[in-house]
Structure 1
Amino acid sequence: MVRLDRTKLLAARYRAAQDRPYLAAALYSLTVVETRQVPTMGVDRRWRCYVSPEFVARTPVPELAGVWVHEVSHLLRDHHGRSDRLPAAEQRDHMRVNIAQDCEINDDILADGLPLPEGTMSPQRFGMPEGLMFEAYLRLLPEDVRSHDCGSGAHGVGRPWEEPGPAGGVGDVEAGALRRSTAEAMRSHQRTRGSLPGGWKRWAEEILQPTVDWRRVLAGAVREALAWAGGAVDYTYARPSRRSGAMRGVILPSLRRPMPRVAVVVDTSGSMSEDDLAAALAEVSGVLKEVGVGKERVAVLSCDADVQVVRRVTSADQVELLGGGGTDMRVGIEAALRAPQRPQVVIVLTDGYTPWPSEPSAARVVAALIGDAPPDPPPWIEKVYVTG
């Protein structure tokens, strides 16, 4: 039985850190775990690196150094966190997800002049363009591709060989700090020693200038608007007060907190991206379902320069996005407020290139602004920027 040659393995890590000093802190944060259950090397969510002794024995140090960079790249790029946000159907094939992630990483490693073992997955192998994110590669890969398993630190699915619990690993807070310090080291490297591969340059810029998670902001805005609308209480005799029993012959009304009605006005003009619309609408639908606003209380209006469709829906895939002409969200908002069952909350999904009502309405209005640098609505409309 081959024993793990730790000297060779750690010499390869040292070489990777020397050649790519901006990765040194991340590389030395990996904890080595010897195992014969992986064919090569793999990582888990806690930054533990599982290593096959046989793989180390047969692989030259320069290639081992490239594999070290490959494995730590999964963790720095938060591949497991991004995998958790994939649609459920895509998450199920974790091996295909892993290959897409390898393509995202390896085109940068190879462009940077680092050698990798034979059989390495790359975009060129599948005739795909370079420089894409793994989420894009996942949709371009053939259905039946298979490769080795990089572990839960890549695709997010726990593997039998991974150690249980957090002992000896890196926590989420420390991982975030490692990502930021690595991005800062990359920026310093660019200033003093030269360029970075395109994928790393893009990654570092995103880490150092993070964008706001629009899904959280939009969900928070919708919940706040619903809480505001639902805060209006009224008395009702349909459910008598419990104090009525203490007063013989007298029925007292009880207070009720009504569930608000919601209208979603969807801008279907020609400038709107269907993917962005679908993402924003799905997010709104999920929040409404979560807070208990049922299908009978939600109307969706497709609107360009006129209202095309008004219907009540139970999910985003039931919405008919018709239109494609000019843009005037005033028409959609006014139509929503004229409905027999007037909404207390109006959510407008638009690119912002539209006239707005000149004065506030009785309903709470939230604008989800889709696309790059959309113009602001009036100050009385709450705005959330939806980015791709």
Structure 2
Amino acid sequence: MPAEPAPPVSSAPAAPAPVLDRAKLLAARLRAASDRPYLASALYSLTVVPSPSVPTMGVDRYWRCYVNPAFVDAHPVAELAGVWIHEVAHLLRDHHGRADRLAHTDRQDHHRVNIAQDCEINDDLLSDRLSLPAGRVEPKDYQLPNGQLFEQYLPHIPAGTHHVNCGSGAHGRPMPWDLPAAGQVGEVEAAAIRRQTAQAIRSHTRSRGTVPAGWRRWADELLEPTVDWRTALTGAVREAAAWASGAADYTYHRPSRRGAALRGVILPSLRRPLPRVAIVVDTSGSMSDDALAAVLAEVGGVLRAVGVGNNRVSVLACDADVHATRRVSTVGEVVLAGGGGTDMRVGIEAALATAQRPNIVIVLTDGYTPWPEASLGQVRVIAGLVGEDAPVPPPWIESIAIPAALG
């Protein structure tokens, strides 16, 4: 087979690399900061790096914004201002940090991750009437609702539909145009920028009320983070279990080994009892079956994580009366019955009256119930309050807020 002919050698000089129109780019940033002053501090924290290798504009995790000069030439200032806000949103929302926590299989396709992240950002930007270049993605392109996080969008994004690339500061994968990390914004400074921006959003909302809902939610979550209820419940149960196990007592069922030194004397040994748990489940009409099943399954996982099992858990279904009591080792063995009024005092009293008195009582309820008037002494009570705006129980009961919709 003959060799393919070599391509002809061109005598024309190579075209000069495009020069970044820095004045136009910085005018766009000024417009973005002037129109959305609550983002100004974050916008001016970005360092501009001209790079023909980046497709459009993109950021790295060190708050550098890589800009293709040809992209700047091709778009008006209004659209570039929207892109500035889009790119800084990736960093403010810590998209690269969140992407690092995805499952390995999800991280492999960084284009899908980037699309999901753009959906999280662009619904806010478009509702705020920002101009964005053609070809941007938004949730409706995939028949998805607005207002979700990118982790919620990601499972519904098909592969190969778009090839957006906002840089390693978005999807987390290093890009060929990334510069070394030396001397740039680190995580401590980035956290300070995020907090300052969140405070500016809150102040702007109070004075003018013109901040998109997604930005307000982000600021509220950053300034007043919601503690994951599973972590809180695990910690409460673990602490209560350790407290119960620490209630050591003497027993003659296993004589002390020290008794061998004393002829004719039997010494008791110390016993550390394993904690017993009773779960009182509110089965009144205000609690949906789906909420009950979901919450009970989660609590079963919490108890297994803490090490409480082996038939040491009783579940009592209760509305204004106790309808079912069963000692269980799996959630599938639970019987839920009821549907009338609500009085969790009845369920707590029934739990304490069982043959093996529990050390810990977990009450799963929407909170619309009377409670015992005083502490139960050696029995710890933890209330899992399902749903929003649940009434708070007495201060001696440790309460954990549990969302009604679990995902």
Range class of TM-score, shorter chain: 0.7 to 0.9
Asked if the contact 2:282–2:363 (Cα under 8 Å) also holds between the matched residues in 1, the reply is yes
Q: Tell me, what secondary structure is at the counterpart of 2:304?
A: helix
Asked if the contact 1:102–1:121 (Cα under 8 Å) also holds between the matched residues in 2, the reply is yes
State the Cα deviation string for residues 70-112 of structure 1 (Å, max 9, x = none): 1222332345666788899988887555434322321221222
| Correspondence for 1:265 among 268, 280, 299 | 280
| Correspondence for 1:70 among 78, 86, 98 | 86
| Correspondence for 1:112 among 106, 114, 128 | 128
Alpha-carbon RMSD across the aligned residues, in angstroms, is: 4.3
Amino acid in structure 1 at the alignment position of 2:397: I
Shift in alpha-carbon separation, 1:304–1:166, aligned structure 2, 3 A: farther
**Aligned counterparts of 1:243 and 1:4: Cα–Cα separation in 2:** 87
Shift in alpha-carbon separation, 1:207–1:242, aligned structure 2, 3 A: same
Asked if the contact 1:300–1:313 (Cα under 8 Å) also holds between the matched residues in 2, the reply is no
Structure 1 equivalent of residue 140 of structure 2: 124
Asked if the contact 1:97–1:138 (Cα under 8 Å) also holds between the matched residues in 2, the reply is no
Structure possessing the higher radius of gyration over alpha carbons: 2
Shift in alpha-carbon separation, 1:329–1:168, aligned structure 2, 3 A: same
**Aligned counterparts of 2:189 and 2:116: Cα–Cα separation in 1:** 26
**Aligned counterparts of 2:390 and 2:161: Cα–Cα separation in 1:** 42
CA deviation after TM superposition for structure 1 residue 346, in Å: 0.8
**Aligned counterparts of 1:200 and 1:41: Cα–Cα separation in 2:** 22
Shift in alpha-carbon separation, 1:57–1:214, aligned structure 2, 3 A: same
Tell me, yes or no, if structure 1 residue 225 matches structure 2 residue 240: yes
Trace 1:328-343 onto structure 2 (pairs within 5 A): 328-343=343-358
Tell me, yes or no, if structure 1 residue 159 matches structure 2 residue 168: no
Shift in alpha-carbon separation, 1:353–1:41, aligned structure 2, 3 A: same
CA deviation after TM superposition for structure 1 residue 206, in Å: 4.7
Amino acid in structure 1 at the alignment position of 2:86: H
CA deviation after TM superposition for structure 1 residue 182, in Å: 1.4
**Aligned counterparts of 1:211 and 1:129: Cα–Cα separation in 2:** 23
| Correspondence for 2:370 among 348, 355, 368 | 355
Structure 1 equivalent of residue 148 of structure 2: 133
Structure 1 equivalent of residue 250 of structure 2: 235
Tell me, yes or no, if structure 1 residue 183 matches structure 2 residue 198: yes
Asked if the contact 1:303–1:309 (Cα under 8 Å) also holds between the matched residues in 2, the reply is no
**Aligned counterparts of 1:93 and 1:286: Cα–Cα separation in 2:** 31
**Aligned counterparts of 2:104 and 2:318: Cα–Cα separation in 1:** 30
State the Cα deviation string for residues 286-332 of structure 1 (Å, max 9, x = none): 44333322343233344334334635245x67766555443232343
* Of 242-251 and 330-339, the range deviating more from structure 2: 242-251
**Aligned counterparts of 1:133 and 1:352: Cα–Cα separation in 2:** 28
Trace 1:143-158 onto structure 2 (pairs within 5 A): 146-147=161-162, 148-150=164-166, 153-154=169-170, 158=172
* Of 227-236 and 49-58, the range deviating more from structure 2: 49-58
Q: Tell me, what secondary structure is at the counterpart of 2:311?
A: helix
Asked if the contact 2:252–2:267 (Cα under 8 Å) also holds between the matched residues in 1, the reply is yes
Asked if the contact 1:309–1:322 (Cα under 8 Å) also holds between the matched residues in 2, the reply is no
Q: Tell me, what secondary structure is at the counterpart of 2:384?
A: strand
Shift in alpha-carbon separation, 1:15–1:302, aligned structure 2, 3 A: same
**Aligned counterparts of 1:317 and 1:83: Cα–Cα separation in 2:** 35
Tell me, yes or no, if structure 1 residue 326 matches structure 2 residue 341: yes
TM-score (norm 2): 0.73
Tell me, yes or no, if structure 1 residue 298 matches structure 2 residue 313: yes
Asked if the contact 2:96–2:169 (Cα under 8 Å) also holds between the matched residues in 1, the reply is yes
Shift in alpha-carbon separation, 1:116–1:242, aligned structure 2, 3 A: farther
Q: Tell me, what secondary structure is at the counterpart of 1:369?
A: strand
CA deviation after TM superposition for structure 1 residue 212, in Å: 5.3
Shift in alpha-carbon separation, 1:338–1:49, aligned structure 2, 3 A: farther
CA deviation after TM superposition for structure 1 residue 65, in Å: 2.7
* Of 210-219 and 118-127, the range deviating more from structure 2: 210-219
Amino acid in structure 2 at the alignment position of 1:159: R
| Correspondence for 1:203 among 188, 199, 218 | 218
State the Cα deviation string for residues 117-175 of structure 1 (Å, max 9, x = none): 22211133334444x222696289465574425466556xx41437898963331x444
**Aligned counterparts of 1:100 and 1:18: Cα–Cα separation in 2:** 28
**Aligned counterparts of 1:217 and 1:5: Cα–Cα separation in 2:** 51
Asked if the contact 1:96–1:138 (Cα under 8 Å) also holds between the matched residues in 2, the reply is no
Structure 1 equivalent of residue 393 of structure 2: 377
**Aligned counterparts of 2:337 and 2:115: Cα–Cα separation in 1:** 37
TM-score (norm 1): 0.76
CA deviation after TM superposition for structure 1 residue 233, in Å: 0.7
Asked if the contact 2:112–2:154 (Cα under 8 Å) also holds between the matched residues in 1, the reply is no
Shift in alpha-carbon separation, 1:169–1:126, aligned structure 2, 3 A: same
Gaps of 5+ in 2: 1-15
Amino acid in structure 1 at the alignment position of 2:196: S
**Aligned counterparts of 1:166 and 1:258: Cα–Cα separation in 2:** 56
Amino acid in structure 2 at the alignment position of 1:231: G
Gaps of 5+ in 1: none
